[in-house]
Amino acid sequence: MTNNIEQIRPKHLAFNLEVDEKSGTAFGVLLASEVRSKLKRAHIDKALSEASLLEWRIAGSIIDTLLDYYDQKVPCRLAIASRCDATFEVVLSEDHMAAYIDVVPAQGGVDLSVENLREGLSANLVAADLIDLASLKAVVAAPEARRITVAIGRAAMPGVDSQFISLVAQDSIQPSGEVRAINDSIDHLAGKSYVIVEPRTAIMERLPPKPGKDGYNIFSEALKSSPGIVIPWSRNMTGTFFDKENPEIIYAHITGHPVIFEDGGRIDTSLEFDKIDITTGHVEFDGSVLIKGDVHPDMKVKATGNIFIKGIVERAQVKAGNNLIVDGGVLGDPNMDVPGIGLPEYDCVLEAGGSIEAQYINLAYLNAGKNITVKEYIFNSNLKAGKRVAVGNKGGKGRLVGGETHAVESVTAKTLGSQAYSVTKITLGYSKVVTDLFRKLDFIRDQRVNQAKKLRNLLPPAVPAGSEEIARSKDELHKIRKIESSLLILQDALKEIDRRRRRATPQEHDHPTPFISAKSTSYPNCYLEINGASVRTKTEQQAIIYVKKDGIIVRRK
């Protein structure tokens, strides 16, 4: 049989290029020839070029097959190139708020026109008045287009809820400018003044809600907006009253210190001290407190409103229901032993339901419901903030060194860590309560899993299918049932732990993207954690931001 095939095959082959203009197809033809010749890819490319077909779609794999047939002396006629018109696809976003076009350019065929694109969009029900003509022209002019936006809708804009605008100094603290002493040093005690308002002073105004703006999708279908809602005033606004002529403004009813919160304000009776020491004793007051000097060691100050301290706080405990402002610094025990691992027992403690401000922090524990703002430095301290920690505002050194710092939204400083590579821990994202709960649940879950493994090891091996059941005594059967019952209880406990963990996990949209930033330098040996992802810095970095992306912490300059 093989001999017959060999006899049929011609001695030589010749290559011809045939072009069918009607179908737009070019054929490579191998014909029997009496003349010996060579055929390589370059010869075929030259033939295509001379026929002005290099812009057509070339079938490279078919040409390879043609060359194999040539080597085997097999006559054939194969389509090696085709003329193709430009094509496009209209892609609509899932929410029908945008239309895109993908284009496959012409290869020797007809190019697209703006009218072609219009017809394609119309066939997909895209409203004609929303099609961007300039984008269509750009698609036609481009050699190749991928996901070009050619029509967009307008999202419905929700209305704005009632807004509460403070009419007194922000945070009830009125800046009075830095006062320099004769030796050109800054006198922090003269930096700010404590605000006292008189009766009938306007405290806060509530602006009415604003309506939303309707939108539309790419089909020109209306998207209804939701109006803003009226946010009620707080119920805790003692010392204030509403004017009948303008019920959207609250006024001071008594002389006192204004305490401002998100949905209202109140006027606190005010208590003033030159200093807090053994001559005054501990202070606990339902209102706001002004301390013109220092809070001395071992003293305690507690107030339901704002606490404003013009001096320093040294080894003392201060707790404010709202904001806590320290014009000077916060000092713990300088003789305290700082362990290499973990934190010491701090005897200097500051807590605030609102925010805490200070010039510097050293060896202290701070806990703020909102923000912690420090001008100069934080050394070997433990900070917890419900929103942000910022170090280095208003021209300060901005150094965060040692200790542990936790915030929900961000931690910003000029320098993180130190040239001595001090261990500096920063945790960001989930609140400390949630983080601690996760660790506790994970610990309990591991214990339950280990208990289940030990119990399973006590069970006899399963009887293979088709084998006879092993006769067991009453005591053995009782023991097996007891173990199986305990395993069911452990299984339910594991499901409950997983359920509690899912419920406690914040959603991504609950908070803005958390970040840690060093505006100047980030030194090695900083332990950073953002929403469960952690990393230890190993090199010195300049002007850097750390964020969580795809489950890991990455650097963004």
pLDDT at 460: 83
Q: Which of 122, 152, 182 is the last residue of a domain?
A: 152
Place of tokens 């946010």: 231
Output DSSP code: residue 190: G
Distance, CA of 111 to CA of 139 (rounded, Å): 11
Do 117 and 43 fall into the same domain?
Answer: no
48/104 same-domain check: no
Residue 465 covered by a domain: no
Where do we find the tokens 């945070």? 171
Q: Within a domain: residue 282?
A: no
Q: What is the pTM of this model?
A: 0.56
Within 8 A by CB and 6+ apart from 94, the residues are none
At 368 the pLDDT is: 95
Q: Are residues 365 and 451 in the same domain?
A: no
> CA 540, CA 265: separation in Å to the nearest integer?
46
pLDDT at residue 187, as a whole number:
39
The SS3 call for residue 234 is coil
Asked whether the beta carbons of 82 and 24 are under 8 A apart, the reply is: yes
pLDDT at position 210: 94
Neighbouring residues of 450: CB distance < 8 A, sequence distance ≥ 6: none
Domain end residue (candidates: 67, 82, 97): 82
- Classify residue 92: in a domain, yes or no: yes
- Is residue 338 domain-resident? yes
Q: Which domain range does residue 314 map to?
A: 299-434+511-556
Separation CA 533–CA 431 (nearest Å): 14
Q: Which residues, given as ranges, of the chain have pLDDT below 70?
A: 1-8, 170-193, 338-342, 430-435, 463, 465-467, 504-512, 557
**In a domain? residue 464:** no
- Write out the two tokens for 434: 């949630």
Convert the pLDDT of each residue in 323-354 to its tens digit.
Answer: 999 999 999 988 877 665 667 789 999 999 99
In Å, what is the CA distance from 402 to each residue of 198, 389, 390, 526? 45, 15, 15, 9
Judge if 192 and 113 occupy the same domain: no
Res 342: pLDDT: 63
Q: For residue 363, what are the β-bridge partners?
A: none
466 belongs to a structural domain = no
Q: What are phi and psi of 515, to 5 degrees?
A: -150, 155
